[in-house]
Structure 1
Amino acid sequence: MAGARWNLTQVLLADKRADAAEAVAMSAVADVRADLRVENSDAMAVSGALLLIAAVAAVRDGKVWAGRDYLRQVAPLADRIGNRNVCWTAFGPVNVAMYAVSIEVESGEAVEGLRLAAKVDHERSPSIERRVAFLLEQSKGYLQRREYKEALNLLEAAETDAQEDVRFRPAAHALVRSPMERGRRSEAHEAARLATRIGLPG
């Protein structure tokens, strides 16, 4: 049930209902608390994954310090159980490190987010979706700094890793459009070629 609610939080975030996503995540964390007390590793992994989603939801709802606090809570769980993929959550130290980047980029702290990203070996994540999301978060950070070439390099890396994921992910479309509309001519042309490859509507 907690894993199912983790999926629900993803839907709520995609629907821009960050407050509801945080509430669902934290309710599910409370429901697995008894299993945490008996050192159930699966419960720890799912609880950690829910706290990570709650962190992103809090930041999107304007509560940056609450998001960072959730992240601080979850780090010891990840260190204790290592990288796992319970309910396809890909929870573990690698995912926590990737979410730390997301928290900073989502809060507009692109410099700190990109600094943290440089330390993450995202290829160790068992989830293609998470690896692609990590590349997109870095791209978003570079776009915040108007460094369009670097952003495009990451978008193209994400396309190489999982073209269908990029093709059908609205967040990726928004990132591709930014250098098309605001970059220099060469960057706009490169972004337009990428947009064509992923079938982005004009």
Structure 2
Amino acid sequence: MDRIQFGRRVAYWRSRRRYSQQELASLMRRSLRWVEQLEGGLRQADPNLSVANEIAMCLDVTLDRLLHDPAVLCPADSEIEAVRAALARHDVLTGRCDDDTAPVPVAVLQSALWHARTGFQAGRFAQLGAQLPKLLVDATRAAARYEGDDRLEAYRQLSLTLELTEAAAIKWGSSDLAVTAGQRAVTAAERSEDPVIQASAARHLADAMTAHGQAAAAVTFVTAAARRLQDDLLRSGPDGLSVLGMLFLKAAMAQATAAEADDDRPDVLARAVPGFLDQADEHAARLGHDDNLLWTSFGPTNCGLYRVAAHVQLSEGADAVAVAAGIPALALAGLPRERRAHLLTDRAIAEKQAGLRSDAVDTLLEAEGLAPEEVVCRPRTKRLVEDLRLLGVEPTAEGRLRGLVDRCGLPG
């Protein structure tokens, strides 16, 4: 059990029961500090069952709901709005921090971002709603106050923080928020004077534009970034190869999305997708192995994941299933949980497209085991579960599908 999610659930049910933290502490015969640490994710990394049972009894909730309720697993609207509000703050928007608060050291920024990014790649998206506002303010203040190399590094961290905001917004289904964060990331990256950061920001903005219905524009933008930055990136070693390869993977996804949205020449547009994927493969071959430089997960295996995703986007379910089956299990196991769960949800969509709906249910359950939020919180996956419910599955899979419907908070 993830300690942050467990703490969130305790806080949620305590609030529902209109108890203060002190009142819950009294009911539990514990200190106020104990409850504060519990709800803040600082205790119960693997909750003792007797303690979890005691909390459930005090809060008059079943143990199952305390441990697994998807309504608490997913981010609250207020947390997403807090991120939106942070981006609209005068100091964050203008980059002018006129108060007397000292900027945090660059090393502290780097550590906080690493912690948040690592959580994202582990499939924990909801907690970012609480982490990102402070990160955005701290990185903006650092970029405004520092000079010289420290300022350039602060702009790198600000751009990467805005990238993470974009990535979280995609998971939350807020494409407008993703575009806003992605555009700001590109601006901060330019101020960093670092071509690797510039390419990283460009690939994130392309992702946001694609999700926001601007796929054709995303192709134009991301390929222009690749042309402009390619020489610098090839001189930047493995980091440069990784972000350059990711630019072509994002171009492939944007092109596939544009093809699906085009009524006049979808086949013509779709024919360009393999070329982008092949260019990414070339850079992965130069890199020579899977890696996670700058949180790209780039390498031959992630290129395979994107081939699956592109087939899915083009409604080529059988081809996607075949490509997914060919990805080596050992290589896949080396990727972060978010990447593996994303592949499984793509494969489940492909199985639905290919008429393998019961297989899709089992694939979703496998993904849920890896990263529950990828399944029960993401709008695109919840739509898939609803589609499976409406289309129907084999009788042997109906019970498992009903469980998914319940955990996704969908009407039965």
Cα distance in 2 for residues equivalent to 1:150 and 1:185: 10
Instruction: Please state if 1:8 is matched with 2:205.
Output: yes
Q: 1:32 to 1:108 in 2, by over 3 A?
A: same
C-alpha distance in 1, partners of 2:393/2:239?
49
Structure 1 residue 113: Cα displacement: 1.6
Distance 2:226 2:302 in 1: 18
For residue 189 of structure 1, report the CA deviation from its aligned partner: 4.5
Q: Match for 1:91: what amino acid?
A: F
User: Which residues of structure 1 form unaligned runs of 5+?
Assistant: none
Query: Which of 384, 388, 400 is the matching residue for 1:179?
Result: 388
Cα distance between partner residues in 1 of 2:306 and 2:319:
13
Whichever residue aligns with residue 76 of structure 1, its letter is E
Residue aligned with 1:32, SS = helix
Mark the CA change 1:201 to 1:7 in structure 2 (over 3 Å): closer, same or farther: farther
Q: Unaligned regions of 5+ residues in structure 2, if any?
A: 1-197, 260-268
Show the counterpart of 1:99.
306
2:219 aligned residue: 22
Give runs of aligned pairs for residues 98-177 of structure 1, distance below 5 A: 98-120=305-327, 121=329, 123-177=332-386
Computing the radius of gyration over CA atoms, which structure comes out larger, 1 or 2? 2
The CA RMSD over aligned residues, in Å, is 2.0
Higher relative contact order (CA 8 A, sep 6+): 1
Aligned equivalent of 1:193 = 403
Kept in 2, the 8 Å contact 1:136–1:154? The answer is yes
CA contact (8 A) 2:255 2:270 kept: yes
* 1:43 aligned counterpart, secondary structure: helix
* TM-score, normalised with respect to structure 2: 0.46
Mapped partners of 2:360, 2:373: distance in 1: 19
Matches of 1:201 and 1:25, distance apart in 2: 40
CA deviations on 1:50-88 (whole Å, 9 max, x unpaired) are 110110110111121111110111112101212122221
Local SS of the residue matching 1:181:
helix
DSSP 3-state at the match of 2:345: helix
Which residue pairs with 1:45 in the alignment?
242
Distance 1:100 1:34 in 2: 26
Is the contact made by 2:249 and 2:277 (CA closer than 8 Å) also made in structure 1? yes
Instruction: Call closer, same or farther: CA 1:201–1:57 in 2, change over 3 Å.
Output: farther
For 2:224 and 2:277, the matched residues in 1 are separated by 17
> What amino acid sits opposite 2:315 in the alignment?
G
What are the superposed Cα offsets for residues 129-175 of structure 1, whole Å, 9 maximum, x if unpaired? 22111101111111012211100011111111111222221111111
1:177–1:191 CA contact under 8 A, matched in 2: no
Q: Could you say if the C-alpha distance between residues 20 and 191 of structure 1 is closer, same or farther in structure 2, counting changes exceeding 3 Å?
A: farther
* Conserved 8 A contact 1:163-1:198: no
- 1:37 Cα deviation after fit: 4.3
Deviates further, 179-188 or 54-63? 179-188
Q: Is the 8 A contact 1:95 1:125 kept in 2?
A: no
Displacement of 1:198 in angstroms is 3.1
Counterpart in the other structure of 2:275: 69
Residue aligning to 2:251: 54
Shift of 1:43: 1.2
Distance 1:33 1:112 in 2: 31
Give the number of equivalent residue pairs: 202
Q: 2: CA distance between counterparts of 1:201 and 1:184?
A: 17
TM-aligned CA distance change 1:15 to 1:200, over 3 Å = farther
Bigger shift: residues 121-130 or 173-182: 121-130
How far 1:188 moved relative to its partner? 4.8
What is the DSSP-based 3-state SS (H/G/I as helix, E as strand, rest coil) of the residue aligned with 2:338? helix
What percentage of residue pairs aligned between the two structures are identical?
A: 29
CA contact (8 A) 2:234 2:240 kept: no
